[in-house]
C-alpha cells in the first residue's frame, strides 16, 4: 500500500501518495493542467507555487514539478506573475550604467532585505546579481543570473517592486550583444546549416526513434 498524505489544493482537501510531486498530485486529484505546467523538469519556471505546512507560519515557494507533497500542505500555484517588462531595442541600448537607470530604476530602491534570494526556486543569489546590475557590471550579473527560469517568485516577495528576472534578462542580452567574446565557430556552424551542409544528416536523424536519439545524445562527444 502506498503511504498517503493529506494536502489542500486551492483550499480543497485530497489524499494523495506521498511520493508525488505537487504537480503530479494535482493530476492525481483530478486537475487537468493546461497552463502552469511547462517542461515539468525545472527549466521553464511556469509552475511557480506557494505553500504553507499546517501549523507553520512560514509561507514557502517552490516549483511544483520539483517539490514533493507533505502532510498538511496548503498549495496555490502562480501560473503567471505580472513582472514589469520594459520595451527596448537591443540594437540601440548600450551596456552603460545609465541604461538600468532608464529602464529599471527601481533596482536602486533595493533595501537589501535578501527576500528575493531566500525565495528563489533555483537557489540563486538574486540580491547579488541585482547589485551587479546597479553597478553596471553586466558580465557578472549575466553569470550570476544564468540559471534564472523567470518564474517571478523573487519579485513577488520584493518590497521595492523590482522585476529581478527582467533586469537579469537585460543584463544577459547586453552581455551577449556587446561584452562577451564573439563566437565565430557558432556563426560558421549557422552558416553551414543555412547552406544545407547538414541536410542529409538532419534527414537521417529525423528517421530515428526516440530511444536511438537518446543513445546518440548520451554518448555524444562533448567539446572541451
pLDDT grade for 23, boundaries at 50, 70 and 90:
very high
Q: Is the pLDDT of residue 11 over 70?
A: yes
Looking up residue 28, the CATH number of its domain turns out to be 3.10.20.740
The pair phi, psi for residue 8, each rounded to 5°, is: -120, 110
Q: Looking at the structure, do residues 145 and 202 belong to the same domain, yes or no?
A: no
> Is residue 126 assigned to a domain?
yes
**Per-residue confidence band for 140, with pLDDT thresholds at 50, 70 and 90:** very high
Same domain as 35, residue 107:
no
Can you give the pLDDT at residue 171? 97
Q: Is the pLDDT of residue 2 over 80?
A: no
Report the number of distinct structural domains present in the chain.
Answer: 3
Residue-wise pLDDT for 157-185, tens only, equals 899 999 999 999 999 999 999 999 988 88
Q: What integer pLDDT is reported at residue 83 of this predicted model?
A: 87
Q: 75 and 63 in contact (C-beta within 8 Å)?
A: no
175 in the same domain as 106: yes
Helix 126-134 vs helix 164-174: crossing angle, to nearest 10:
60
| Residue 88 in domain | no
The closest of 147, 111, 14 to 71, measured between CA atoms, is 14
| 67, 138: one domain | no
Question: Is residue 84 assigned to a domain?
Answer: no
User: What average pLDDT does the chain have?
Assistant: 92
Distance CA 64, CA 112 (A): 28
For the segment 124-148, the average pLDDT, to the nearest whole number, is: 97
Is the pLDDT reported for residue 150 higher than 80? yes
Is residue 1 very low, low, confident or very high in pLDDT (cuts 50, 70, 90)?
A: low
| Domain edge (last residue) among 49, 77, 105 | 77
As a whole number of angstroms, the distance between CA 78 and CA 36 comes to 7
Per-residue pLDDT at 62:
92
pLDDT at position 41: 84
One domain for residues 130 and 159: yes
Q: ∠ CA(42), CA(47), CA(48), 5° rounding?
A: 100
Within this chain, do residues 101 and 36 fall inside the same structural domain, yes or no? no
Q: What gap in Å lies between CA 95 and CA 84, rounded to an integer?
A: 20
Q: pLDDT band at residue 118, thresholds of 50, 70 and 90? A: very high
Mean pLDDT of 23-47: 89
Residue 14 domain-assigned (yes or no) = yes
175 and 117 within one domain: yes
Closest by CA position to 63, among listed 142, 174, 149: 149
pLDDT of 221 strictly over 90: no
Tell me which residue of 122, 162, 127 sits closest to 146, measured CA to CA: 122
Does residue 116 fall inside a structural domain?
A: yes
Cell readout for 166 is 527582467
Tell whether 169 and 212 lie within a shared domain. Answer: no
61 and 110 share one domain: no
pLDDT in tens, 62-86: 999 999 999 999 999 887 778 889 9
Query: How confident is residue 38, by pLDDT bands cut at 50, 70 and 90?
Result: confident
The proportion of the chain whose per-residue pLDDT surpasses 90, expressed as a percent, equals: 79
Asked if residue 199 and residue 175 are part of one domain, the reply reads no
Nine-digit cell string for 3: 503511504
Same domain, 73 and 116: no
Q: Is residue 121 part of a domain?
A: yes
Domain that holds residue 210: 193-218
Confidence at 195, pLDDT banded by 50, 70, 90: very high
Any domain includes 82 = no
Indicate if 132 and 174 belong to the same structural domain: yes
Look at residue 186 and tell me if it is in a domain: no
For residue 123, what are the contacts with CB-CB under 8 A and spacing of at least 6? Answer: none
Amino acid at each position: 500500500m502506498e503511504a498517503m498524505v493529506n494536502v489542500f489544493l486551492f483550499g480543497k482537501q485530497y489524499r494523495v501518495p506521498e511520493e508525488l510531486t505537487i504537480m503530479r498530485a494535482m493530476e492525481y486529484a483530478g486537475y487537468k493542467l493546461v497552463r502552469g505546467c511547462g517542461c515539468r523538469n525545472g527549466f521553464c519556471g511556469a509552475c511557480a507555487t506557494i505553500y504553507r505546512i499546517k501549523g507553520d507560519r512560514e509561507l514557502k515557494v517552490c516549483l511544483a514539478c520539483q517539490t514533493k507533497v507533505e502532510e498538511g500542505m496548503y498549495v496555490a500555484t502562480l501560473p503567471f506573475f505580472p513582472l514589469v517588462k520594459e520595451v527596448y531595442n537591443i540594437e540601440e541600448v548600450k551596456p552603460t550604467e545609465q541604461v538600468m537607470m532608464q529602464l529599471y530604476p527601481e533596482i536602486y530602491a533595493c533595501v537589501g532585505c535578501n527576500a528575493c534570494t531566500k525565495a528563489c526556486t533555483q537557489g540563486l543569489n538574486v540580491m547579488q546579481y541585482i547589485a551587479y546590475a546597479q553597478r553596471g557590471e553586466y558580465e557578472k550579473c549575466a553569470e550570476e543570473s544564468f540559471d534564472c527560469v523567470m518564474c517571478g517568485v523573487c519579485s513577488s516577495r520584493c518590497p521595492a517592486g523590482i522585476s529581478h528576472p527582467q533586469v537579469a534578462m537585460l543584463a544577459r542580452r547586453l552581455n551577449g550583444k556587446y561584452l562577451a567574446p564573439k563566437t565565430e565557430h557558432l556563426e560558421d556552424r549557422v552558416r553551414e546549416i543555412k547552406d544545407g551542409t547538414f541536410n542529409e544528416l538532419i534527414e537521417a536523424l529525423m528517421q530515428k526513434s526516440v530511444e536511438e536519439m537518446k543513445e546518440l545524445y548520451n554518448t555524444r562527444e562533448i567539446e572541451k
